[in-house]
Amino acid sequence: MVYTAPSTRIAVEIFWAYVAFALNSIVFLLIGLEVHFEALLASWQAILVAYLVVTGGRALIIFGASSLLRRTRERIPWAWSVILTWGGLRGGLPMVLVLSLSEDFPHRDLLVSMTFGVVLLSILVHGLTMSPLLRWLGIVAGHQERAACELTRGKLQAARAALEETDQMSHVHFANPEVLASLR
């Protein structure tokens, strides 16, 4: 395995995150050119049914897999299963697939409207309710606990850096070993 510097890994992750964002933006722009607001309103019932089927299917699969895993050491907590079900906010792949259908495909316009509507509902409903759901399930602590955790993490990082610097100083000949010992 090739060693990659942490700064390089971070740069690569940022690059690919930007590429994913740009491609998702292009997909949303393309579907925005294809979908008409009137078509969305006209097919609201089909969109709602599709949204419920997709969300229910996701719940069925995740809770089914979770219940199978409960018999093993790899248990998934119930609250995590809820979040995995509710957290399916991605919609780029279905939109790309529906846009790739040929213009003469039967009911293509309805499929495009339904796909966009389900993705839109998923992003709005799931996205706006995720934070309260995380708090209600007790997965995310309040702001005070998070601030205390970040402060403790910062102190730990500072202590590790100080120990590393002390170790570096011990190799210097003019560093007093008694002073270094007391610093440690």
152 and 64 together in one domain: no
Indicate if 73 and 102 belong to the same structural domain: yes
With bands split at pLDDT 50, 70 and 90, how would you rate the model's confidence at 164? confident
Of the three residues 120, 140, 160, the one that is the final residue of a domain is: 140
User: Can you read off the two tokens belonging to residue 147?
Assistant: 């601030």
Higher pLDDT, 32 or 102: 102
**In a shared domain, residues 84 and 65:** yes
Whether residue 47 lies inside any domain: the answer is: yes
Single out the residue of 83, 78, 77, 85 nearest to residue 60, CA to CA.
85
Q: Are residues 95 and 183 in the same domain?
A: no
Instruction: Judge whether 13 lies within some domain.
Output: yes
Same domain, 179 and 104: no
The answer on 173 and 107 residing in a single domain is no
pLDDT at 64: 92
**Residue 162 and residue 92 in one domain:** no
Per residue in 31-42, is it b (16+ CB within 10 Å) or e — as a string? beebbeeebbee
Q: 55 and 79: one domain? A: yes
What's the total number of domains in the chain?
2
Residue 56 pLDDT level (bands cut at 50, 70, 90): very high
125 shares a domain with 85? yes
pLDDT over 90 (residue 45): yes
Residue 156 placed within a domain: yes
Most confident option among 23-37, 63-77, 142-156:
63-77
**178: CB partners within 8 A, 6+ apart:** none
Decide: residue 176, CB within 10 A, 0-12 exposed, 13-18 middle, 19+ buried: exposed
In a domain, 1, yes or no: no
d(CA 184, CA 179): 9
Question: The domain containing residue 31 runs over which residues?
Answer: 6-140
In a domain, 109, yes or no: yes
Mean per-residue pLDDT of the chain: 84
Average pLDDT (132-136) is 88
pLDDT for 89: 62
- 163 and 100 fall within a common domain: no
Quickly state the pLDDT bin for 173 (edges 50, 70, 90).
low
The predicted pLDDT at position 2 comes to: 64
pLDDT at 6 exceeding the cut of 90: no
Do 155 and 82 fall into the same domain?
no
> 73 and 156: one domain?
no
Confidence at 162, pLDDT banded by 50, 70, 90? confident
